[in-house]
Structure 1
């Protein structure tokens, strides 16, 4: 099908548009995505007419890049010229990401921790031998390995309240273990209980996550 479409586009010399974007994975592998749009059997049919858009188009939300929200020639400005009633809005999720990035920039300790985690991830992800040794150690300790992505992103912000719940449980566990009256058998049972409670956050949110969710509503 792909070869037939390309052959037909070349033979008929149809007009095409190309959209390309590059992204880098956690493993530092660059990937280029190319999206090609062409009219093969006739003219491209748009689903919305200008007259209809003037009635139903109410706004545009995007990141804060100048190409999108530039005052003079941004996409939003060009749309406002044709549709004066629309509202231009800088995506709040993108603003949140920028705020987190700026906060991390002025917090020196997080940079060192991020560099350490990236180096540790690369040490195992880029070496099958090291990964095999890590898997063997996890098997011997009866621990399940889980792959994680980068922490310092919007995903981290979305999971921050779950992290607070986990830290609260760890704080309580630490205080119990520091109690001189806690025996080794009792400490072992308590640790098993707390591990189960922390694992349950994968299925049921903690109190901090519940409070944050209710506040958002």
Structure 2
């Protein structure tokens, strides 16, 4: 640097330190002195957990969320000093609150449980699908054990590998199917409840234990078409299968399912007098609960009645039906004759089938019986020739 430039720079510096003029000093002395205002600045970057609530109290939100009993959890009307913040941040109570809040945010155990439950849900879903398939195909419940073994060969996990319980017993299958039936029934009932009207089909019969039972189906029309479901299959425990007892069961069942009986507009029956009696039948008594109810005689039952009664007017059909029935009894009452018939069927390369019985209460059962007999007619003729007359 040259001497000239250094001198110029020194002169510029000295000019910046010039003394004020007397006028300026007088004007400054007359102006009022400004008071220093103390303001507290909170550095939220370091203490972001120190916030103000709706009541104006400054508090530690972490300690308050975890319900700790300290001054910072209760709150301050005047913000505390930063030194107090530091002491509180290093306290064991605050550190525990931070740890718990972190665990709540990250939720490691919950994620672990969700992953475990998700895997268990997949296994449970596969087991439910298997039980549904068994019910849909009307397979024995013992088949589930074989289906699980076959699925494991294909790489599909239907049970827990580290668990001794495989859920393949008949009782487990029954419980799975009962749970599925309950869910399906709930969906069907919701659809019937949302429908404006619905109908019911009734039939009373006697089971193998000689107990009277009433079977009830419900139907309704939805946007997807006709929806129907089995409402109940209950035993008549008190009294006989009279119209009053049946009506009482129907009313109670509809009420338990949450179905409005006034929306019942149709009732399908087999045409028995207890169902369609003009004075005391089920249809007549149910009209007292739903005046718009219409009774419908089952078309299948009407067809059976028409064909059976029409056949009685033709003597040849009557004797023909008795002959078919006697053929069934001839082989059904003797194991020796049945074995002889199967031997002849095998020698003639015919299907080994049994003859069907003609039921007077089953519609068109005679047609099915004749078709079965026709498929093995040559073997029938040879068996009768060797065995003698009917």
Instruction: Give, in whole Å, the separation in 2 of the partners of 1:144 and 1:157.
Output: 20
Q: Within the alignment, does 1:108 sit opposite 2:315 as a pair?
A: yes
Provide the residue aligned with 1:74 in structure 2.
Answer: 281
C-alpha spacing 1:157/1:62, structure 2 compared with 1 (3 Å): farther
The structure carrying a bigger helix percent of its residues is: 1
Q: Within the alignment, does 1:32 sit opposite 2:210 as a pair?
A: yes
Q: Is the 8 A contact 2:332 2:338 kept in 1?
A: yes
Structure 1: gaps (5+ residues): 2-19, 24-29, 39-43, 167-217
**Displacement, 1:37?**
7.1
Provide the residue aligned with 2:363 in structure 1.
Answer: 154
SS of equivalent to 2:287: helix
Quote the RMSD (CA, aligned, Å): 3.4
SS of equivalent to 1:89: strand
C-alpha spacing 1:94/1:137, structure 2 compared with 1 (3 Å): same
**Displacement, 1:31?**
6.3
**Displacement, 1:93?**
1.5
Q: Is the 8 A contact 2:268 2:297 kept in 1?
A: yes
> Which among 42, 47, 66 is matched to residue 257 of structure 2?
47
**Displacement, 1:22?**
3.7
Provide the residue aligned with 2:264 in structure 1.
Answer: 57
Q: Deviations over 1:163-186 (max 9, x none)?
A: 8xx9xxxxxxxxxxxxxxxxxxxx
C-alpha spacing 1:21/1:88, structure 2 compared with 1 (3 Å): closer
> Which protein shows a greater Rg?
2
Q: Aligned residue pairs: how many?
A: 130
**Displacement, 1:146?**
2.2
Structure 2: gaps (5+ residues): 1-170, 172-203, 214-234, 238-252, 375-390
**Displacement, 1:123?**
0.8
C-alpha spacing 1:158/1:117, structure 2 compared with 1 (3 Å): closer
Q: Within the alignment, does 1:142 sit opposite 2:349 as a pair?
A: yes
C-alpha spacing 1:137/1:118, structure 2 compared with 1 (3 Å): same
**Displacement, 1:61?**
1.1
Q: Which has the higher contact order (CA 8 A, sep 6+)?
A: 1
- Taking structure 2 as the reference length, what is the TM-score of the superposition? 0.29
Q: Within the alignment, does 1:123 sit opposite 2:330 as a pair?
A: yes
C-alpha spacing 1:48/1:158, structure 2 compared with 1 (3 Å): farther
